[in-house]
């Protein structure tokens, strides 16, 4: 299925990195590049993405991106506030909005295109990683039951939704409800959300340990693998 639609991307990099004790992880260097650049370059490689809103911490002045397709904007206090700021910048009709965490450098071009295609077909779509461990549901530190792992996925990004839902998504983001990812918003709006299985471990870098793992992978075969 070819993509003949207008796609706008939001790259979120406004997080405070509270669990990362060495500053903003998304602006730390790996192999001479800022962490966010790995995912930004993947989105720029997808020609169907016409515009990328790059959301940085409020009043963050140290980043400059010389690309006409990229616009840097200030984020908000929470993830959903940052996303709202980006969505409010969309002034023209678009077919698909796709959102990605800048701290996930191992996203592939194929993942991005698959999320776009499934969003067009179904209304919304997200990348997800299969769960291979046995998962227990607990209550007060006691196991209540075992969850069927064949039905479980670890939510990742990118996550996308059709442009027709833009105003509804914005309204819900500004409500009193709290959302940890975009799919939670889609679920609340009763929009069908299709899972796209990630091609590789598209993990989010949160801690110093994960950053060191990324350094090893991006410094060797891991980066080459992620360029599919």
Give residue 188's domain range.
7-225
pLDDT digits (tens, 9 = 90+) for 9-43: 999 998 765 555 566 778 888 999 999 999 999 99
Taking the CB of residue 22, how many other CB atoms lie within 10 A of it? Answer: 9
Q: What is the pLDDT of residue 18?
A: 56
What CA–CA distance (Å, rounded) separates 102 from 222? 17
Checking if the pLDDT of 220 tops 60, the result is: no
CA distances from 15 to 51, 78, 218 (A): 21, 8, 22
What CA–CA distance (Å, rounded) separates 147 from 137? 7
pLDDT digits (tens, 9 = 90+) for 136-189: 999 999 999 999 999 999 999 999 999 999 999 999 999 999 999 999 999 999
**Taking the complete model, does pTM exceed 0.85, yes or no?**
yes
CATH number of the domain at 123, please.
Answer: 3.90.550.10
**Assigned domain for 149 exists:** yes
Count of the separate structural domains present in the chain: 1
On whether the CB atoms of residues 35 and 105 are closer than 8 A, the answer is yes
């Amino acid at each position: 299925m070819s993509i003949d639609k207008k796609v706008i991307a939001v790259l979120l990099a406004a997080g405070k990195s509270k669990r990362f004790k060495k500053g903003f992880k998304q602006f730390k260097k790996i192999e001479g590049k800022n962490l966010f650049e790995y995912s930004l370059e993947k989105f720029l490689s997808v020609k169907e993405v016409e515009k990328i809103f790059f959301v940085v911490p409020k009043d963050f002045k140290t980043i400059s991106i010389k690309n006409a397709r990229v616009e840097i904007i200030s984020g908000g206090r929470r993830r959903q506030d940052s996303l709202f700021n980006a969505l409010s910048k969309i002034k023209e009709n678009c077919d698909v909005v796709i959102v990605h965490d800048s701290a996930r450098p191992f996203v592939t071009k194929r993942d991005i295109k698959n999320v776009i295609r499934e969003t067009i077909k179904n209304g919304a779509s997200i990348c997800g990683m299969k769960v291979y461990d046995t998962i227990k549901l607990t209550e007060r530190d006691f196991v209540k039951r075992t969850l069927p792992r064949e039905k479980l996925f670890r939510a990742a990004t990118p996550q996308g939704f059709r442009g027709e839902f833009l105003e509804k998504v914005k309204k819900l983001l500004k409500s009193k409800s709290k959302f940890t990812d975009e799919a939670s918003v889609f679920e609340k709006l009763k929009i069908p959300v299709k899972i796209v299985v990630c091609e590789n471990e598209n993990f989010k870098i949160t801690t110093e340990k994960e950053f060191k793992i990324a350094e090893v992978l991006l410094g060797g075969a891991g980066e080459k693998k992620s360029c599919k």
